[in-house]
Amino acid sequence: MNDTTPLLQMRGICKQYPGIQALNEAALEVRAGEVHALLGENGAGKSTLMKILSGAVRRDAGDVFLNGEPVDLGDPNRARQLGISTIYQELSLVPHLTVAENIFLGKAPTRWPGVLDWPRMRREATRILSGLGVSLDPDARVRSLRLAQQQMVEVARALADEARILVMDEPTSSLSEREIAQLFGAIRRLTARGVAVVYISHRMEEVFRIGQRVTVLRDGRHVATGDIADVSVPQLVRLMANRDVSEHYPRRSHARGEELLRVEGLGSGSLRDVSFVLRRGEILGIAGLVGAGRTRLARAIAGADRIDRGRIVIRGKTIRIGSPADAARARIAFLPEDRKQQGLVLGLAVERNVALSHLRALSRFGVMDRRTERREAQQAIVDLRIRTQGPEQTVVHLSGANQQKVVLAKWLAARADIFIFDEPTRGIDVAARHDIYLLMNRLVEQGAGIMMISSDLPEVLGMSDRVLVMRAGAVQAELSAAEATEAAVLQAALGLAS
């Protein structure tokens, strides 16, 4: 083999899960020193392919070559020894240990057997971190660090492992713009040293900013690989979805109706004197920086957090919301950002999750009406085009978009008409987002009102009829669709005078 031998080759990789062919002849080829973007809809097989690469999952068939040599990726340790490190969305650091201890977890330098060489550990940690362009105290406890800093510790740990291939799964999903720039700086330093980075993200602009080449997977198959310079966003989206997503944010008629929800002087935790109105037939975008109190507002109205002060008027009546059950009775639907932790019982079937919001209505004297339960779920699967094998499938096996649809189905079946979406499309790929947007439009056309919290500014601007900008627990500005420009929202979010 010559010097054009790729660092990593995965060929003909197949993996079957019960009932699902997760990977079917998937392939990936990564060169040393490049950032290789791996794209695909949720469920396209990206995660499975990366789990195989990191040794977490065994492949059914196919070959993996490192520098042209066939390798066996038996288990995560073996993969790590081969120089393959993975940084998952959920970081895997030990929060109570220090930065240095985390970086050298399991391979700490020792003076005598069993006795740690602390000075050397600190020195090495500082050296690795500064090599990434980061200054962090090696003695700081990881739990005291910001998420972006923790991520840097993970990168440093991969470096201490002498990683040659670094897999990053949605590394920027909770980072600010400045932190993203810093992360990209670190990635560039890595690739300059010949480390290959496999970069998974749904954010197209990032892929174009940092990536050199791209591979697209669809339905577990390899679709295309090419230089990023040669492709455009619409091309990539088409490859991922195999269809045109012509309109990023679908339009609809604006028909604002009567008042549905009125919040007056709401106080809860960090929230101060929040007041606004939500009408039928509108999407009210809630913008603001992370920590501005948007989720707190959603949780207070949904009964998840305690309300200290203020009044909530729903359909003209003052309602006391003391628990999520109260909110559900008031037909308020809460679709939390963290669907897996808060939106769904992953181990239960689709139909069981759908029923969860209105068990009372589905039962007589406590006995469930299983036929209605089944019918509702089947209806929802058809209506919302949920891709599942049927109402009895466990939701853990569904893709992010389909899981979000199940959460939505749960509230539709409960006849909710006030919908609070917290980051409705986080972790959902571009093509599937479109589906979610269409569903949101359908809801408001049918007379519902939607509060949509989102950190994705184009999404807020593209979908909202009005935008509420929050800052430090209070409403900073209320902008009409016409007033809501990227600059105006950002200015308000940052507390700058316009």
Does 398 bind other proteins (CB under 8 A)? Our answer is no
CB of residue 448 vs other proteins: minimum separation in angstroms? 18
Number of C-beta neighbours around residue 396 at 10 A = 12
**How far is the C-alpha of 162 from the C-alpha of 332, rounded, in Å?**
51
Q: Which stretch binds other proteins (CB under 8 A): 14-22, 23-31, 95-103, 474-482?
A: 14-22
125 is an interface residue for other proteins by CB under 8 A = no
Among 209, 200, 193, 149, smallest CA distance to 173 is for: 200
Q: Give the shortest CB-424-to-other proteins separation in angstroms.
A: 16
Contact present, 24 and 221 (Cβ < 8 Å): yes
Query: If residue 278 lies in a helix (H) or strand (E), which one and from where to where?
Result: strand 271-279
CB of 482 to other proteins, least distance (A): 35
Among 46, 358, 433, 466, binds other proteins (CB under 8 A): 358
CB of 165 to other proteins, least distance (A): 24
* Beta carbon of residue 340, minimum distance to other proteins (angstroms, whole number): 8
CB of 449 to other proteins, least distance (A): 19
16 in contact with other proteins (CB under 8 A): no
**Contact between 378 and other proteins (CB under 8 A)?**
no
Does residue 18 interact with other proteins by CB under 8 A? yes
Calpha distance 59→80 (Å, rounded): 17
Q: Is residue 309 involved in binding other proteins (CB under 8 A)? A: no
Cα–Cα distance measured from residue 215 to residue 224, given in angstroms and rounded to the nearest whole number: 6
In the complex with other proteins, the residue whose CB is nearer, 131 or 324, is 324
Q: What is the DSSP string of 232-275?
A: -HHHHHHHHHSS----SS--------SEEEEEEEEEETTEEEEE
Residue 14, interface with other proteins (CB under 8 A)? Answer: no
Task: Confirm or reject binding of residue 325 to other proteins (CB under 8 A).
Answer: yes
What is the contact mask toward other proteins in residues 333 to 352, using x (rule: CB under 8 A)?
A: -x-x----xxxxxxxxx--x
Does 357 sit near other proteins (CB under 8 A)?
Answer: yes
Q: Quick one: 114 or 366, whose CB is closer to other proteins?
A: 366
Kindly report the number of other CB atoms within 10 A of residue 70's CB atom.
9
358: DSSP letter: G
Residue from 370, 375, 385, 415 binding other proteins (CB under 8 A): 370
402 by Cβ neighbours in 10 Å (0-12 / 13-18 / 19+) ranks as buried
Rg (CA), the chain: 24
Residues 190-249 that bind other proteins (CB under 8 A): none
Q: Long-range contact list for 132-138, CB < 8 A, 24+ apart?
A: 132/156, 132/159, 132/185, 132/186, 132/189, 132/190, 133/182, 133/185, 133/186, 133/189, 134/182, 134/186, 136/99, 137/99, 138/98, 138/99, 138/100, 138/103
Torsion of CA 455, 459, 464, 467, to 10 degrees: 30
373/190 Cα distance (integer angstroms) = 53
Using CB under 8 A as the binding rule, whether residue 257 contacts other proteins is answered as no
Draw the binding track, 413-442, toward other proteins (x: CB under 8 A; -: no contact): -x----------------------------
Considering the rule CB under 8 A, would residue 453 count as an interface residue with other proteins? no
Instruction: Tell me the window of 135-143, 245-253, 355-363, 478-486 that interacts with other proteins (CB under 8 A).
Output: 355-363
Residue type, 126: T
Tell me the closest approach of the beta carbon of residue 416 to other proteins, in angstroms: 10
Choice from 278, 300, 302, 450 touching other proteins (CB under 8 A): 302
Crossing angle (nearest 10°) for helices 370-383 and 400-413: 130
Q: Which tokens is 417 given?
A: 């008409």
Using the rule CB under 8 A, which residue among 328, 468, 479, 493 binds other proteins?
Answer: 328
Cβ proximity to other proteins: between 232 and 389 the closer is 389
**Min. distance of Cβ 463 from other proteins in angstroms?**
23
Among the listed ranges 200-208, 364-372, 428-436, 441-449, the one in contact with other proteins (CB under 8 A) is 364-372
Query: If binding means CB under 8 A, how many residues of this protein chain bind other proteins?
Result: 43
User: Can you spell out the DSSP letters for 32-55?
Assistant: TT-EEEEE--TTSSHHHHHHHHTT
How many helices (H) and strands (E) in the chain? 16, 22
Binding site for other proteins (CB under 8 A): 17-19, 57, 302, 304, 323-325, 327-329, 334, 336, 341-349, 352, 355-360, 362-363, 366-368, 370, 389-390, 392-394, 410, 414
